[in-house]
Amino acid sequence: MTAETQGRKRHPNAKDALRERARELRGEGRTYDEIQQELGCSKSSISLWVRDLPRPPRRTREQASEIARRGWEGRLRLREEERGRAKRAAEAEVGALSDRELFLLGVGLYWAEGTKDKAHARRERAAFVNSDPGMIRVFVAWLDLLGVDRERHTYHVLIHETADVAAAERYWADVVGTDASRFGRTTLKRHNPRTVRKNVGDDYRGCLVIHVRRSADLYRRIEGAWCGIVGAASAAVRAERT
């Protein structure tokens, strides 16, 4: 072999390995779907690589269903992996929160999920209810930032009567860092047998309600801060349009 011929000699690449593996699988009687599921390459490539090989015997309905199931499970696994990567990347972007960032976040959080004063029913008091432990933790951290003594917090659980009430109280007590003995009487939702509920199982713990005693001034501060956020956001939109 001359030096020139050696220079022209093609080096193996990843596609060569895929092609050989595709031909092996086809020789075992695998279908295009099965080969694609294992190798992750396109059906057009597979067709080109194995077109000279005999077709495998026709699949039964059970075999076709099993292939479809495995393919769907593979796609779900890839979706979950992609979802996890996106979440981890977004979490890393947040980093540490400044006091101002936590303050503004807490105001928005409260205005979305907290009780609000109405012109026809004056209720200037701070109360927050949620089933998401993350939301509860952020709200408690926000109250700490505002200097609200935890002795002013009152807690009670809101949950369906068919759930494990004692376990739910212990769970929420751990979330807020207190003892379940500090909790008020749990509010039970009556079970309606005609309702098909999704919030069942060991991980169903109802909602936690947090009231802040003597909170009229706190409520007014929240409402005023929210108006400030809306005003600033509206001004930014107007500036963008001009």
pTM for the full model? 0.67
Q: 211 falls in which pLDDT band (50, 70, 90)?
A: very high
Cα angle at 224 between 227 and 232, to 5 degrees? 35
Query: By mean pLDDT, which of 35-39, 162-166, 210-214, 232-236 is the weakest?
Result: 35-39
What does each C-alpha distance from 134 to 12, 176, 205, 217, 234 come to in angstroms?
Answer: 52, 10, 14, 26, 29
Cα(102)–Cα(139) distance, rounded to whole angstroms? Answer: 10
Nearest Cα to Cα of residue 150 among 123, 177, 116, 110: 177
Start-end of H helices in the chain: 3-8, 14-27, 32-39, 43-50, 61-94, 99-113, 133-145, 165-176, 216-241
Instruction: Count CB atoms within 10 A of the CB of residue 49.
Output: 19
Q: Is the pLDDT of residue 7 over 50?
A: no
Q: Any idea which residue has 């295009």 for tokens?
A: 32
Are 57 and 29 in contact by the 8 Å Cβ rule? The answer is yes
Residue 8 has pLDDT above 60, yes or no: no
Residue 129 corresponds to which tokens in the numbers above? 């209810």
The SS3 of residue 161 is coil
Phi, psi of 123 (to 5 degrees): -135, 70
pLDDT for residue 70? 73
CA distance 18 to 102: 52
CA angle 85-91-92, nearest 5°? Answer: 90
Task: Report DSSP state, residue 202.
Answer: T
Query: Residue 197: pLDDT band by 50, 70, 90 thresholds?
Result: low
User: What integer pLDDT is reported at residue 184 of this predicted model?
Assistant: 92
Query: Rounded to whole angstroms, how far apart are CA atoms 188 and 169?
Result: 12
**Which residue, among 210, 38, 204, 228, has the nearest Cα to 115 in the 3D structure?**
210
Per DSSP bridges, beta strands 207-212 and 153-160 are antiparallel
Model pLDDT for residues 101-150, shown as the tens digit of each residue: 999 999 999 999 999 988 777 778 999 999 999 999 999 999 999 999 99
Give dist(CA 54, CA 31) in Å, integer. Answer: 11
Domain ranges of the chain: 14-94, 99-241
DSSP 3-state of 130: strand
